[in-house]
Amino acid sequence: EMPYWQRAAWLFGLFGVDVPGERIVELMPVAYGPQWDDERIAPVEEVVPGVHVLELWHGPTSAFKDLALQCMPVFFSEAISMQQAAGTLADDFLVLVATSGDTGKAALAGFADRAHTGIVVFYPAEGVSAIQRAQMVTQRGENVGVFGVRGNFDDCQNAVKAAFNDEAFNAELHDAHGLLLSSANSINWGRLLPQVAYYASAYADMVASGGVVAGDPIDVCVPTGNFGNILAGWYAREIGVPISRLLCASNENKVLADFIGSGTYDISAREFVTTPSPSMDILISSNLERLLYHLAGPESVREWMASLASEKRFRVDRDTFGRMREVFLGDWVSNDESLAVIRRVWDETGYLLDPHTAVAWEVAER
């Protein structure tokens, strides 16, 4: 019976967010307020019997990242204000973002003119849709910057990570400008926690509508490139949302589907492919490292990530692979197949899938 903002506030309280509970309740309606075109925020639609679509495009930029990036900047700015008022922080923050399209505009919209922060977005100059590029480069705000990069998303992401790891650069940024670096990408836990909320909310809505009996498990199919969205589903499962299997749906950049099927992550001879689902056009999936950390521990993950950096591949051990396969399945969809799915579902149901959801629909049907 709770509205979406109240569900999210309740979940934030469970995770011990460093903002007082009463303040969480005050801030959450700011994140999930009139800027959304549906008061349900993330409604669930049963398109055909037994198949539900979680609609994550009702935010101000029409990207699913709005679910996190209308929320995270509000709490980020609040936390800075709290620490500065307490005298434990004297600096402001520069937020660096690498985007394959949707994160960039959503982050810019969330952080624009937000107190104590600046934001700089890097996107692949030839790797985002025309609409996404136009959304980003026309963003208004006194604290925003947007740069097109000659390269793909992985190049942008690697550059941002290198900036975080460059001690000399960080020291100069702090000493000369009074700035500390942070991120609005999913390497920041503040991005993932709001995403956990919509899995819990979706299940509650399905129970309320009679789509599922409370306690009965559901399978969730997630189109994913950087593994953040599906990892949020895994966290939701870990805290008790009745999710049975998580289906990882890849486009032609199918490194994740191949990994889930084989236990080997290999980009050594893999070519980057431009697809109709550009937000999934990624070969180095950052959040997979998080899952492997939970399944195998820090030492194994350190070894595997070192192998990925030096040899462009790694293989997990049999135990880790088995534990992953207890929950995750993966498959991929070609460019032509994804477009055909959009046409077929429209003809059969009158429901229009976006190219990313179309990838998930096809994998779920299989």
- Cα dihedral angle (110, 112, 114, 115), rounded to 10 degrees? 150
Q: How far apart are the first and last CA of the chain?
A: 34
**CA–CA separation, 128 vs 49, rounded Å?**
34
Cα separation of 111 and 73, whole Å? 6
Please tell me the distance from the alpha carbon of residue 93 to that of residue 164, in angstroms, as a whole number: 13
CB-neighbour burial class of residue 228 (10 A; exposed 0-12, middle 13-18, buried 19+): buried
Q: How far is CA 227 from the centre of its chain?
A: 7
Say how far residue 290 (Cα) sits from the centre of its chain: 13
* Residue 253 vs residues 59, 211, 234, 277, 343: alpha-carbon distances, Å: 27, 33, 22, 10, 22
- Strand segments, DSSP code E, in 189-251 are 218-223, 243-250
Single out the residue of 269, 287, 267 nearest to residue 196, CA to CA.
287
- Whether residue 280 contacts residue 225, with contact meaning beta carbons closer than 8 Å, is answered with yes
Catalytic residue, chosen from 65, 105, 254, 312, is 65
Geometric angle at alpha carbon 118, from 117 and 119, rounded to 5°:
125
> Is 57:354 a contact under the CB 8 Å cutoff?
yes
Burial of residue 318, with CB atoms counted within 10 A of its CB: 0-12 exposed, 13-18 middle, 19 or more buried: exposed
For residue 105, indicate whether it is catalytic. Answer: no
Q: Residue 178, by phi and psi: left (phi above 0), alpha (psi -120 to 50) or beta?
A: left
Task: Enumerate the active-site residues.
Answer: 65
